[in-house]
Amino acid sequence: MVVFLNRVAIIGVGWYGFKPTTPEVSFREMVFEAASRAYKDAGDINPRTDVDSFISCQEDFWDGISISDEFAPDQIGGAMRPTMTVSGDTIQGLAHGIMHINSGVADVVTIEGHSKISDILTFPDLVKFAMDPIYLRTLNPPNFHFLAGIDAVKFMERKGVTREDLALVVEKNKRAGLKSVRSSYASNLSVDEILKYNEYVVYPLTRLDIASFVDGAITIVIASEEVAKRVKGDDYLIIRGVGYATDSANAETADIGKATYMRLASNMAYRMGKIDSPRKYFDAVFVDDRYSYKELQHLEALGISEEPVKDLREGNLHPQGEIPVNPLGGHLAKGVPLEASGFSLLLDAIDYINSGKGDRALVGSWRGIPTFTGSVVVVERP
């Protein structure tokens, strides 16, 4: 049985960007802006004296700098302080921060993730470089979305999903995104208008089924609950469970058509949180929807819905439904900020709880093509 030794709280959140391009700032300036806002939100703490360790979630390839983690500490206040890098999604970085606190290494930890994809001129080539050089790269597919196309077809056949169902997901999330200031890609498109756009990027996905990328930086400060009470009173959220897992290191041996990585990660988080019935427990779910079908596939893996298509058609997943899913738009409305994607969903969960719409939220993040890695976090009011 995996348990928390100590309750860990989210005490500060800051973000910058969520725009297709941010020519006004460098990636370091963008991260500085997010970190400054997070420290203000955390009770105006001083990172040089009040934060014990700093975690950056980034990839050298995304920043175009070898050993890019050496460029991370300055702008988050971590120069000459204990720092580490997680080459993965920010929820994975959050899990490492929790371990810092539970191991006694730190009482307060800062975690940052960012995307400056507008600076990357050859992003598809970088993704291709991450694929197996013998079995996948040599296929020379027209684009890297082909893996999602294969996965989508197999999932849709197994669960009876139609193109109309995918359009329902796109309509729901893009309209929900109109409520959030971070949604550069929100719109009021109808299902009919979405279906009229039938030029496939890769069958069965059109451009509207695929979330665009965005620039953005997010910083979150976590602390032991004892520290949280001291600096924030009762104005904080508790992390009840967290988990991350990889189904397979390559596509050839992965469970295509299923999000096994998400099932493994959520099982870990639910064991930590002692959650037996996730559908009944949560007030809202914030799950990776960078491809429209992925929202439904992830809901099945998270144990939220055995029949996600039925729930979608009956309106149970809408913002006013029985179990709201991505009620602030998800990636389809906000875009995908690379390694900060998990924190983007977590930001939505925090906003949802702080707005008084619920007390408990589930976040499920996927690292994207070509990985089979997912991470899950459970947040709630203390």
The band of 67, judged by pLDDT with boundaries at 50, 70 and 90, is confident
Q: What is the pLDDT of residues 310-362, one digit of tens each?
A: 999 999 999 999 999 999 999 999 999 999 999 999 999 999 999 999 999 99
Q: Which residues contact 174 (CB under 8 A, 6 or more apart)?
A: 185, 186, 187, 188, 189, 329, 332, 333
Written in H, E and C, the secondary structure of 101-155 is HHCCCCCEEEEEEEECHHHCCCHHHHHHHCCCCCCCHHHCCCCCCHHHHHHHHHH
Query: Shortest CA distance to 281 belongs to which of 272, 267, 289, 270?
Result: 270
pLDDT over threshold 70, residue 246: yes
Provide the edge-to-edge strand list for the sheet that holds 373-380: 83-86, 53-57, 108-115, 215-224, 8-19, 237-246, 373-380, 360-366, 284-287
pLDDT band at 136 (very low <50, low <70, confident <90, very high): confident
pLDDT at 35 over 60: yes
Which tens digit of pLDDT belongs to each residue from 257-286? 999 999 999 999 999 999 999 999 999 999
Alpha helix ranges (H) inside the chain: 27-41, 47-50, 60-63, 90-102, 123-129, 146-159, 163-176, 191-196, 225-232, 260-273, 278-281, 292-301, 308-313, 330-334, 341-354
Which tens digits make up the pLDDT trace of 202-220? 999 999 999 999 999 999 9
Structure tokens at 349: 């969960």
**Which residues does 94 contact at the CB level (< 8 Å), separation at least 6?**
111, 220, 222, 239, 242, 342, 343, 346, 377
- Tell me the whole-structure pTM to 2 decimals: 0.96
- Give backbone dihedrals phi and psi of 364, rounded to 5 degrees, phi first: -125, 115
Q: In the 8-state DSSP scheme, what is residue 291?
A: B
Write out the two tokens for 271: 């064991």
pLDDT tens string 81-105: 999 999 999 999 999 999 999 999 9
Give the pLDDT band of residue 4 (cuts 50, 70, 90).
low
